Structure 1
Amino acid sequence: MSAVTNGYSENISKAIEALQNGRMILLFDLEGREAETDFTIPAKSVTPADVKWMRKDAGGLICVALDPQASEKLGLPFMADVLRDASQSTDSLNNIVEKGGDLKYDSRSSFSIWVNHRDTRTGIPDNDRALTINKLGEIVDRALDGEIPDFGKEFRTPGHVATLRAARTLVHERMGQTELSIALAKIAGITPAMVVCEMLDDNTGRALSKEDAIKYGKNQDLVFVEGGEVVKAYDLWLSRA
C-alpha cells in the first residue's frame, strides 16, 4: 500500500510538493477520453526556459487553464459561444461552430480567448509567452482576492496564448486536463492558473503513449499523475474545505 501524507497518496503528495515549488509535473487524463499526458506547471512560475521545454519536448499547444470563478469575474467567454454569437451575422460560421456531439472525447471544449499581454511585442517568442502566462496567473490572483481587474487594459486578443475556462464544478463536471490541473492547484493551495501542454510522439505524430510518458517522467525526475488519482484527492480536499 502506498504511503500517505495528510490523507493523500504518496504520488499526489509528491505532485503537490512539486507544484508548490513551481516545478513541472506530468498529468494524464483518462483512458478512453483524450488519453493524453500534459506537461503541467503553475502559470506564475513559468519561465522562458519552461516555454522552450514544453514546445520542444511536449510539442502540443501551450495553454493556460483558469479557475472558473476568476474567469467569470474577468469576463472570459467560451470561444464556442463567441463564435456562435458571431455566426448569427456571419453565415460562413454556421456550419463550423462547435455543437453538441462534435467532439469525440467530451461534450464541449474549454477554450476561451487567445491573448497576448500588452507589454509583449509579437507575443510568440518564449519570453513573450512566459510574460503573458505569468500575468494571467497574477490577474487570477487579483480576481480571487476580490478585485475586479480590467482584463482588456492588460491583455489583447487575438494573441498567442490560449486560455482555457475550467468547468464550474471542475472534475465533477468535466475530466479534462483543464479541470484536473485546477483541482490540483486547489489541493496544493496555489493560484488556480495552470499551464498545460500535450505530449506528442515525434515518430507517429500522435499523442505520446502513457507508457512512453511515464518513461520520460522517470528520466526527467517528473511526477506522473493520473486523473483518477486527482479526483480522489480533490474529493478529500473538498470534504475538508
Structure 2
Amino acid sequence: MIKDAIEDIKRGRPILLFDSDDREGETDIVIPAISTTAKDVAMMRKDGGGLICVSIHPDAAKKFDLPFITDLLKKLENNGYSNLLRVVEKEGDLRYDSKSAFSLWVNHVNTFTGITDIDRSLTIRELGRAVKDVLSGKSFDFGSEFRCPGHVPLLRASDNLIYERRGQTELSIALAEMAKITPAMVVCEMLDDISGKALSKDDAKRYADDKGLVFVEGRDVIDEYKKRRERGVL
C-alpha cells in the first residue's frame, strides 16, 4: 500500500494519510501542492473539512526565511506586545506533540480575496513552484510573490522530518521525497459531521474505497522512509 501511495503522489493524485492511533488519530487528504486545482480545494473543504494547509520542506522554509509562528510571536515582547506572550504555545500545551508546525498564513499576490477555491489553489500551486525553484538553486523573492495575512496556512516541517517529529507535515514531506517530487504538500484533516470529531480510521478507509484512493498509515511511511535512507536511495 505504501508503494501505491508513493506512485499516486508521483502522479499528482490525492491519497489519505493517517498519522497514528496514539497521536492525533486523524486522516488527512494529501495532494502535491504544485498540481493542486480548484476542484481539489473544493473536494478538501467538502470531504475533509479541516484546515487546508501546505507543508513545506525545511530547506525551502529556511531559504524563504519562514519562521515558526511561535518563534515570531515571542519576539513581540520588546515591541509593546508583552501581553500577547500569554497566548504563545508553550512546552506541554499540546496533547498530541511537543510543538506545532505552523508558520505564516499567506495569499499569492495575484489572488483577489484569497479564500475562493480558485484563489487558494493558485496560492497553493505558486507555493509549490516557489519550493521547486528555491530548492533547484534559483533565487526567489518570497515577499514579492506572497502576502501575509492570507488564507493558506504554511506548515514548516521539522529539520530531521520523521526522525524529529511524526506529524502529517513531516509524513507528507517524507512521501514527497520518496516520490521524488517537489516537497510541498497540501494536507487537510478529515472531520466527522455527526460526531464533531476527527473522522474515524474505519470511515476514512471506507471513503478511500468509495473514491478509489489509497489509504496509508503513518507507521508505513516511517518504515519505508527509514529503509530507503538506510539503503542510501534518499
TM-score by length of 1: 0.94
- Kindly tell me the number of residue pairs found equivalent between the two proteins: 231
Q: What does residue range 143-154 of structure 1 map to in structure 2 within 5 Å?
A: 143-154=134-145
SS in 2 for 1:120: coil
Amino acid at match of 2:23: R
Amino acid at match of 2:148: T
CA separation in 1, counterparts of 2:53 and 2:113? Answer: 17
**8 Å contact kept, 1:74–1:148:** no
Aligned-CA RMSD value = 0.8
1:112 aligned to 2:103?
yes
Quote how far apart the aligned CAs of 1:163 are.
0.4
Give the stretch that moved more between structures: 192-201 or 86-95.
Answer: 86-95
CA separation in 2, counterparts of 1:137 and 1:94? Answer: 32
1:187 aligned to 2:181?
no
Which consecutive segments of 4 or more residues in structure 1 shift more than 3 A? Answer: none
Amino acid at match of 2:117: D
Quote how far apart the aligned CAs of 1:148 are.
3.0
Residue of structure 1 equivalent to 2:162: 171
1:141 to 126, 129, 132: 132
Q: Deviations over 1:101-160 (max 9, x none)?
A: 110000000000000000001100000000000000000001111123100000000000
Amino acid at match of 2:69: M
Q: What does residue range 149-228 of structure 1 map to in structure 2 within 5 Å?
A: 149-228=140-219
1:36 to 26, 29, 34: 26
Residue of structure 1 equivalent to 2:17: 27
CA separation in 2, counterparts of 1:235 and 1:172? Answer: 9
Quote how far apart the aligned CAs of 1:45 are.
0.9
Q: Deviations over 1:193-230 (max 9, x none)?
A: 00000000000111001111111111111100101000
The answer for unaligned runs of 5 or more in structure 1 is 1-10
Q: What does residue range 5-84 of structure 1 map to in structure 2 within 5 Å?
A: 11-84=1-74
SS in 2 for 1:82: helix
The answer for unaligned runs of 5 or more in structure 2 is none
* Overall identity of the aligned pairs, in %: 56
